[in-house]
């Protein structure tokens, strides 16, 4: 399979690239990535010299470059990971979110339409369903109700992608995953931020009462599900991908502090995220039934592996936390303690 991946230098995209090149799944893999603050070629050091791998630095909004590469490479499948992926940044600065997540997805869909790409998988999120009232789990027919610029942009790009199936009969599929965790995640997201702050004895900022619920999915389980959907999913369909492990944020942070041997007093309540969704919960019954995929990583083991990775990769963490990260951190967290 000749695979064109966007956003392959980010957290999930790089895990997917490593997985595809680690097995015989890809005969050729093109990674098209702008290298924003979240893109990091260090994440791909293990595959950089693989003769099947080609890296192109580019913006998915750049129609000329996207078309040039898709025309030259003629991939069997485009997998669109590229996005501005952080909710807090989307609140502070929505413009790049709409550019990349909406216009970028549109640009890719147009390139796939022009060059008749046989398969297009758009990687999306459970956030498009908004907060889900207990005891329900959202299936793929649950109404869309976005709460942040990030989730609205993902919901919009999902609908755009699906419209290309309806209108142009393009072979588009959308996946919606729950919260991912694992190695190489940028330390703006809950789990790596709490791990790295705890290592440094820095305050752990808890939004509001910390009782918001997220469903945790190990990143490698997510990548296996995406491959299963490429191979066995139906065109024009949406597939939820959840980890079946829902926890309140405070429980996740307690587990991290227990594992690293640091006191709960490091936790510091800060003002809540505006528009903060209370609970995400997914039904993954469809992807399991139709593709045979199932999540395999138990949360406690995945969390331990993740903490070990951050402990062993302190230099990676130090590099990504320098420069721009410091400005973002100050911008997002200053004067929020309550
Ligand atoms: P990330 O922020 O770690 O990585 C995003 C990557 O996209 C980076 O390499 C960045 O350089 C690249 N990128 C950004 N804008 C680009 C542009 N205009 N052109 C080309 N490349 C660009 O994100 P992630 O956490 O790996 O998420 C990947 C995808 O999965 C996103 O679409 C996100 O919405 C979705 N998703 C994420 C999660 C999660 O928990 N992280 C859960 C469900 C779905
Ligand atoms: O649900 C899937 C989504 O998960 C993905 O689509 C997004 O790309 C990804 O960023 C993630 O979004 P969340 O907003 O759920 O993840 P985040 O790690 O930012 O926050 C998880 C929870 O932790 C959320 O309830 C907010 C809370 N939180 C987060 C941070 C960064 C805190 O309490 N303190 C923090 O400092």
Q: Of all helices (H) and strands (E), which one includes residue 70?
A: helix 63-73
pLDDT of res. 23: 84
272 is catalytic: no
Q: DSSP assignment, residue 116?
A: T
Give the distance (Å) from ligand 1 centre to CA of residue 281.
Answer: 21
Region 136-156 average pLDDT: 97
Between the CA of 189 and the centroid of ligand 2 the distance, in Å, is: 6
User: Which residues' Cβ are closer than 6 Å to ligand 2?
Assistant: 85-87, 125-127, 178-179, 189-190, 193, 205-207, 212, 214, 249, 273, 280
Buried b or exposed e, range 246-275, using 16+ CB within 10 angstroms: bbebeebbebbbebeebeeebbeebeebee
Q: What is the pLDDT of residues 298-323, one digit of tens each?
A: 999 999 999 999 999 999 999 999 98
Burial of 166: CB neighbours in 10 Å, binned 0-12, 13-18, 19+? exposed
Known catalytic residue: 150? yes
Q: Of all protein residues, whose CA lies closest to atom 30 belonging to ligand 2? A: 190
Ligand 1: atom nearest CA of 100 is 18
Q: Is 73 an active-site residue?
A: no
Rounded Cα distance between 321 and 231, Å, is 37
pLDDT score for 328:
98
Closest ligand, as measured to the CA of 182:
1
Encoded tokens for 327? 């400005």
And the tokens for 23? 């097995």
Residue 109 tokens read as: 């869909």
Rounded to an integer, what distance in angstroms lies between the CA atom of residue 161 and that of residue 148?
20
What's domain 2-181+216-241's architecture?
3-Layer(aba) Sandwich (3.40)
Which tens digits make up the pLDDT trace of 39-92? 999 999 999 999 999 999 999 999 999 999 999 999 999 999 999 999 999 999
Q: Are 233 and 290 in contact (CB under 8 A)?
A: yes
């Amino acid at each position: 399979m000749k695979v064109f991946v966007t956003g392959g230098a980010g957290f999930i995209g790089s895990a997917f690239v490593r997985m595809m090149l680690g097995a015989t799944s890809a005969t050729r893999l093109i990674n098209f990535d702008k290298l924003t603050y979240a893109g990091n070629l260090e994440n791909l050091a293990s595959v950089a010299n693989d003769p099947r791998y080609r890296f192109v630095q580019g913006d998915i909004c750049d129609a000329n470059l996207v078309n040039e590469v898709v025309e030259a490479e003629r991939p069997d499948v485009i997998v669109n990971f590229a996005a501005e992926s952080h909710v807090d940044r989307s609140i502070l600065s929505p413009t790049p979110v709409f550019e990349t997540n909406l216009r970028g997805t549109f640009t890719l869909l147009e390139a796939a339409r022009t060059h008749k790409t046989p398969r297009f998988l758009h990687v999306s999120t459970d956030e498009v369903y908004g907060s889900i009232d207990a005891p329900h789990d959202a299936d793929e027919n649950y109404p869309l109700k976005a709460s942040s610029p990030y989730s609205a942009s993902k919901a919009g790009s999902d609908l755009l992608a699906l419209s290309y199936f309806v209108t142009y009969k393009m072979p588009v599929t959308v996946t919606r995953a729950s919260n991912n965790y694992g190695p190489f995640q940028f330390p703006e997201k809950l789990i790596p931020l709490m791990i790295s702050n705890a290592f440094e004895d820095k305050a752990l900022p808890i939004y509001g009462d910390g009782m918001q619920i997220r469903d945790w999915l190990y990143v490698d389980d997510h990548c296996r599900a995406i491959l299963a959907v490429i191979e066995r999913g139906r065109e024009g369909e949406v597939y939820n991908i959840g980890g079946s492990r829902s926890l309140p944020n405070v429980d996740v942070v307690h587990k991290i502090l227990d594992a690293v041997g640091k006191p709960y007093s490091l936790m510091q309540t800060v003002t809540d995220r505006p528009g903060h969704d209370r609970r995400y919960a997914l039904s993954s019954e469809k992807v399991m039934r139709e593709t045979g995929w199932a999540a395999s990583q138990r949360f406690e083991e995945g969390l331990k592996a993740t903490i070990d990775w951050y402990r062993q990769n302190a230099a990676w963490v130090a590099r990504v936390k320098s420069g721009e990260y410091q400005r973002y951190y100050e911008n997002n967290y200053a004067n929020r303690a309550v």
